[in-house]
Amino acid sequence: MKELRLAESAGFCFGVRRSVEMAEKLLAEGPCASFGMLIHNTDVVRSLSEQGMRTIESVEEAQTGESVLIRAHGVPPETVSGLLARGAAVVDATCPKVKLIHTIVEKAVAQGRFVLIVGMNGHPEVEAIRARSGSCAVLENAEETMLWLDEHPQLMNEPITVVAQTTQTKNNYTECVNLIKKRCTNAEISDTICFATSKRQEEAAALSRQCDAMVIIGGRRSANSLHLAEICRNNCENVQFIERAEELDLSILKESPIVGLTAGASTPAGIIKEVVNKMSEEIKVEEIQEEAQVAEPVAEAAEVPVQDSADVAAPVEKELSFDEMLEETLTPIYNGEKVSGTVVSITATEVSVELGAKYSGFIPTSEFTDAGIKVEDVVKVGDTIEAVVVRVNDVEGTAQLSKRRLDAAKAWTDVEEAVESNAILEGVVTEENKGGVVVNVKGVRVFVPASQTDLPREAELAQLLRKTVRLRITEVNRARKRVVGSIRRVAQAERREKMEKLWSEMEVGKKYHGVVKSLTSYGAFVDIGGVDGMVHVSELSWGRIRQPSDVVSVGDEVDVYVINFDRDKRKISLGYKDPEANPWTMFTRRYSVGDKAEVKVVKLMSFGAFAEVLPGVDGLIHISQIADHRIEKPEDVLRVGDVVEAKITAIDEEKQKISLSIRALLNEAKAAPAVEEEVPEDDDDGSDALVYEVSASGEASGDASAFAED
């Protein structure tokens, strides 16, 4: 054995370290009990037992008034209630990461979901999870998973939640999950393998591929230690699994130049150090033996020990750095301290952060879910995150963190710089205050006076609540924590910019999507993006309307187009009615001279009757064309609202005039029976009937005297 390589993440994990520390604090107050073997390491359990901690395996063994520590693996809920019923004082040392699994399965049960647990049957952690899972199954490997899927086809379309024992191997869990995904159509997968466990397994796999032999230190009943040995055996033939230094067989390591060492999560630093020292001594013995075997001449051999010394020095340095690493994992943290860690899990209430210290950090999800944002859209498992320590709980081994407070500190710097640079910042209006509103800008409260909100003087400030606004900072006093801003300055600048851009790009016929701002008797004013244009009442509809409000209302979103504009006077005339819906165009597509049309009488005049051919298109039936005989006035035959058939006798495309005749159809009807009979010529056949232009009011434009002379 020439070189010893040590895994960086070997030894106590957070949950085990926390439970041991809680046990030591309890023992300082007097004798106590542990429900089940506290951790899977006989040396640690023996040491705690010598200090006064006894191990109990059932509720009945607990004594009234006795403090009972719940191990890191957790216990079923009925165990806790049973202990309390016996008068015991329960101290919960369940690993927060295991508690997270409890929360997931309890939520799944409440939703009526079936729970699948990928883990070791009978393991305390798995049994504690199973007790909270209602209808569930425990699957140890891919073979069991496949068998279970084949035996339960009725559950393939049912809602299923999948969790993993925290110490499962990543490969085994992935194999099981892939099988479940293929068969189960409604499965929610939760990767609940402890981040520290995954890291330890990855290091063991990498180390075992580099070394000629591997030594794994861990308890015989430790699931994570057994998994480490299994991983190493897949890559290395020479693997020793030991609990303590005296079990180490150095004889089978002598022929292995490079030996790797790792340890399970329940292995204390002291035992790891004993094994390292024993292996390091062996390296030194080999060095002495090699020096003794060196032959003459001395000058040539002198170079060999020098090279060997360099080779042997490396493990000593690694041993020291490894010890330092172990000490660093026990480093405490304090309130107000800035820390950095890795997100290991996300629940409905908190984000768990692995800090690499003696505490497990958590951040309330409320810090990430402002304005209805989902926490999963902001942070993900595996992300590195910085935060400030808010409160440390030595008993539970947890630290409440706040990312928002750290962000707020950074935001103060941004706010102060924004004053100098005149930069635009963004924030959410959180409250209405006396004389203005408060905007949250990255955690900093910014007061915006009512006059700077860009709202009309009579408007309600409450309409800004929960809205995202852009503003400029006008005043900062960090000592008094006072910041003043202006939304109006940004809005005015943006309006000016939009106006200039709009005017520079404006052209006749260009279409805009706008909002109706106000109505008058003669039209509607529409905001088309910072500039108001007017739609005249005549441009609102092709049909007859009494007032603009018949067509649009204030606040309506409308599509308009530019009829004309004056850039110097800043005036714009807009059209609203669709050119494609022009009634005259629709009329000319549908009718020609000589066609019959069913028309509706809309107005009677002394010289004739106006009749609607299509909505928005009227024609004139001259008095001479109303009947096949002379009449004194139109109302002798027609009434407003009558629907009659008329013949289109003339169309003036240029002036948009239409002449109609009822008489022509009556004459045709008389002439029909006598095919060869010549129709008598009439002095007043209507051929000279006036073709007129229809106005919006229904009045005829043209020479009305022509009708009077008839």
CA dihedral 663, 666, 672, 673 (to 10 degrees): -130
Instruction: Tell me how far apart the terminal alpha carbons of the chain are, to the nearest angstrom.
Output: 131
Q: Given CA atoms 634, 640, 645, 651 in this order, what sign does their dihedral have?
A: positive
The structure tokens 């997931």 sit at: 104
Q: Report the DSSP beta bridge partners of residue 590.
A: none
How buried is 600 (Cβ within 10 angstroms: 0-12 exposed, 13-18 middle, 19+ buried)?
A: middle
CA distance 44 to 17: 11
Residue showing tokens 């084949």? 150
**Which among 622, 596, 597 is positioned nearest to 700, based on CA atoms?**
622
Would you call 651 helix, strand, or coil by DSSP?
A: strand
Catalytic residue among 8, 57, 125, 143, which?
125
CB 486 within 8 A of CB 446: no
Examine the residue annotation and report whether 125 is marked as an active-site residue of this protein.
yes
Structure tokens given for 41? 């390491």
| The dihedral sign for the CA sequence 459, 460, 465, 471 | positive
Amino acid code (one letter) for 582: N
Q: Distance of CA 59 to CAs 33, 35, 63, 78, 324, Å?
A: 11, 8, 9, 10, 41
The distance from CA 647 to its chain's CA centroid, rounded to whole angstroms, is 67
Strands 693-694 and 700-701: antiparallel
Rounded to whole angstroms, what are the CA distances from 376 to 190, 320, 372? 13, 41, 12
| DSSP reduced 3-state for 692 | coil
Alpha helices in 86-169, H assignment, sequence order: 96-110, 124-130, 142-151
For 346, the token pair is 């996300």
As to burial, measured by CB atoms within 10 angstroms (0-12 exposed, 13-18 middle, 19+ buried), residue 572 is buried
Q: How far is the C-alpha of 665 from the C-alpha of 349, rounded, in Å?
A: 84
Q: The tokens of 539 are what?
A: 């441009």
Helix (H, G, I), strand (E, B) or coil at 332: coil
Inter-CA distances, 386 with 132, 343, 383, 402, 544, Å: 34, 10, 10, 9, 67
450 contacts: CB under 8 Å, gap ≥ 6: 435, 436, 437, 461
Residues marked active site are found at: 125
